[in-house]
Structures are given as structure tokens and as C-alpha cells.
Amino acid sequence: MKIFVAGGTGAIGRPLIAELLARGHALVALTRSPEEAQALLEQGIEPAIADVFDTDAVKAVVSRAQPEVVIQQLTALPRTYTREAMSAAAPFNTRLRLEGGANLLAAAQAAGVRRYLRQSIEILGGSWSWIG
């Protein structure tokens, strides 16, 4: 199955990509970075270079990929998971997930993607709680 992963180079996406590859799926992963694109290629993953905040660019890469499934793993997690670091990261993480996620969903719909999976988190009182 061909799967498009947004957020595949992050802390959560990397293990997901490894598992999907191990199960034999063809993968396309979204990145903004040419360096990350090269690393994806070396793993046998097709890179899709675009900024998730650029609506037209996201639509173009999803359309070009023609995936059966899009998985949204967009996060902006800090290197350390202290309360302070997580709180500092929260505003951009929220923008990334809401605005970037909306662009990705619109692109998936425009491309006629059959399945769209979105990672879920919950933010309570300014701190993050992971729901399992």
C-alpha cells in the first residue's frame, strides 16, 4: 500500500516509518529539508519536499504521490520533555497541527485519498497529556 506520512522525520514519525517499511509499504514522507529528503531516500522512502503551511505546495506533493492513505504525524516536540520545554513548544505545535493539518487534510481530500489518519494528543491546562 502507498502511504504518505507527514511528520515522518520526527520523534514519533521515525519509528512509525520503520514499522511501515518493515511491513512492506511504499512510503512518501513530507519534509521541508533537503538534508532530511536525502536521509529519506537512503531509507528507500520517497521524499516530498514542501512546507506544510504552504497550501498549494502541500496539495501538489500529495497529488503527485497519489497515496492510498495519508498519516498526519505533525508535531513540534522539544528535544527534552520537561514541563517548561513542552509549554514553550505548545504554541507552534498547536499551529502546526491545526493549520498544517488542515492543509494536509484538504490536500488528501483533493487527491481523493481513501483513508486519513491523524495523531491525537490532548492539552490540559497548558501542559501536555498523551492519551493512549
Ordered by start, the domain boundaries in the chain are 2-129
Q: Does domain 2-129 have CATH number 3.30.70.2190?
A: no
On the question of pLDDT at 65 being above 60, the answer is yes
DSSP 3-state assignment of 81?
coil
Instruction: Summarize pLDDT for 89-122 with one digit per residue, the tens.
Output: 889 888 988 999 999 999 999 999 999 999 876 5
Does residue 75 or residue 107 have the better pLDDT? 107
Instruction: Summarize pLDDT for 1-55 with one digit per residue, the tens.
Output: 999 999 888 878 889 999 999 999 999 999 988 999 999 999 999 999 999 999 9
Instruction: Summarize pLDDT for 76-88 with one digit per residue, the tens.
Output: 888 888 889 888 9
On the question of pLDDT at 123 being above 60, the answer is no
Query: What is the value of pTM for the model shown?
Result: 0.86
Pairing of the two strands 122-124 and 127-129: antiparallel
Contact call for residues 124 and 78 (beta carbons, < 8 A): no
On the question of pLDDT at 131 being above 70, the answer is no
Beta bridge partners of 116: 70
H or E, element range at 49: strand 46-49
Alpha-carbon distance values, 34 to 30, 80, 106 (Å): 11, 25, 24
DSSP secondary-structure letter at 125? Answer: T
Q: Residue 98's CB: how many other CB atoms inside 10 A?
A: 11
Question: Cα separation of 45 and 40, whole Å?
Answer: 5
Phi-psi region of 71 (alpha: psi -120 to 50; beta: other; left: phi over 0): beta
φ, ψ (nearest 5 deg) of residue 23: -90, 5
On the question of pLDDT at 130 being above 50, the answer is no
Alpha-carbon distance values, 36 to 5, 10, 24, 28, 49 (Å): 14, 10, 21, 13, 9
Specify the pLDDT at position 76: 84
Specify the pLDDT at position 47: 96
